[in-house]
């Protein structure tokens, strides 16, 4: 008998409702684990953001923001997409939000730290999205995934790098997680969120189509394994357990 079955048996004997069997403590432990992971993510991503010189890719984005994109967006609220450079507007609009939140009066006050804070926030946000798929991963695996994401060298590096990639990863995971929640609940709000996240993927970088094709291919290849569980879910039934063989008497 596993822990859940023992808890259920105790609940029946004591007359307590079964919905209370260890769920609050487990939820609290998951929340504590996610809080720890978010703290680790912040601790690894925030220090000394200004000490590393701007990479060429970062400088291109920063200069584009200064000379063309951000000046029009900040001063006139205008943005014109150029398919030949700078990708989509998501990074620039996110920079605008940070500029306003930090009360930066002009570009000269928009430091490297403030620019990189945009991608830091999306990197930490990626960790906080993991509860959306906790019922698929399992609670313990969700906490470990959050910790590994927080401490991943690649994730830390790109979260401290003022380019579009971390935004694309964040919106991609949001789209997949919202799609998973819709498949589990059939609530229209999750479908709308998945659509919005896909749109934000598009507004971040044109290469989002590669991710969509890969996701569709993965879903198609997994269909033979998913189909039985989908059928059972629709029918509201579960497969019958095989009959147990009688044990030989000793």
- 237 lies in a domain? no
CA 219 to CA 226: how far, in whole Å?
9
Q: What are the structure tokens assigned to 80, written together?
A: 């014109």
- 212 lies in a domain? yes
Biggest CA pair distance of the chain: 88
If you search the block for the tokens 């991609």, which residue do you land on? Answer: 172
DSSP tally for the chain: helices H, then strands E: 12, 0
pLDDT tens digits, one per residue of 151-170: 999 999 999 999 999 999 99
- 4 lies in a domain? no
- 104 lies in a domain? yes
- 131 lies in a domain? yes
- 12 lies in a domain? no
Q: Which domain holds residue 199?
A: 28-228
- 250 lies in a domain? no
Q: What is the pTM of this model?
A: 0.76
Overall domain count for the chain: 1
CA 54 to CA 138: how far, in whole Å?
40
Q: Report the candidate in 179, 114, 167, 134 with the shortest Cα–Cα distance to residue 30.
A: 134
- 74 lies in a domain? yes
Per-residue pLDDT of the chain (250 residues; tens, 9 = 90+): 444 444 444 444 444 444 333 344 577 888 999 999 999 999 999 999 998 888 777 766 666 554 456 666 777 777 778 777 768 889 988 988 888 888 887 776 778 898 899 999 999 999 999 999 999 999 999 999 999 999 999 999 999 999 999 999 999 999 999 999 999 999 999 999 999 999 999 999 999 999 999 999 998 888 776 665 555 554 444 444 444 444 444 4
Task: List the Cα angle 51/121/103 in 5-degree steps.
Answer: 75
pLDDT tens digits, one per residue of 88-115: 889 988 988 888 888 887 776 778 898 8
């Amino acid at each position: 008998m596993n822990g859940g079955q023992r808890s259920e048996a105790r609940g029946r004997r004591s007359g307590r409702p079964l919905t209370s069997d260890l769920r609050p403590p487990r939820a609290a432990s998951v929340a504590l684990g996610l809080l720890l992971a978010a703290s680790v993510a912040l601790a690894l991503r925030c220090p000394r953001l200004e000490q590393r010189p701007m990479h060429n890719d970062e400088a291109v984005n920063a200069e584009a923001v200064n000379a063309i994109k951000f000046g029009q967006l900040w001063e006139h609220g205008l943005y014109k997409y150029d398919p030949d450079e700078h990708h989509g507007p998501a990074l620039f609009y996110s920079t605008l939000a940070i500029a306003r939140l930090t009360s930066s009066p002009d570009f000269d006050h928009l430091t490297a730290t403030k620019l990189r804070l945009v991608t830091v926030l999306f990197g930490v946000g990626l960790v906080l999205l993991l509860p959306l798929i906790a019922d698929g991963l399992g609670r313990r695996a969700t906490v470990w995934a959050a910790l590994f994401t927080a401490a991943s060298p690649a994730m830390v590096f790109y979260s401290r790098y003022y380019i579009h990639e971390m935004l694309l990863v964040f919106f991609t995971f949001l789209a997949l997680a919202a799609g998973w929640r819709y498949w589990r609940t059939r609530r229209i709000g999750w479908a709308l969120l998945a659509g919005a996240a896909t749109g934000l993927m598009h507004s971040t970088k044109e290469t989002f189509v590669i991710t969509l094709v890969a996701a569709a291919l993965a879903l198609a290849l997994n269909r033979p394994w998913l189909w039985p569980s989908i059928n059972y879910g629709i029918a509201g039934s579960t497969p019958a357990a095989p009959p147990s063989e009688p044990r030989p008497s000793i």
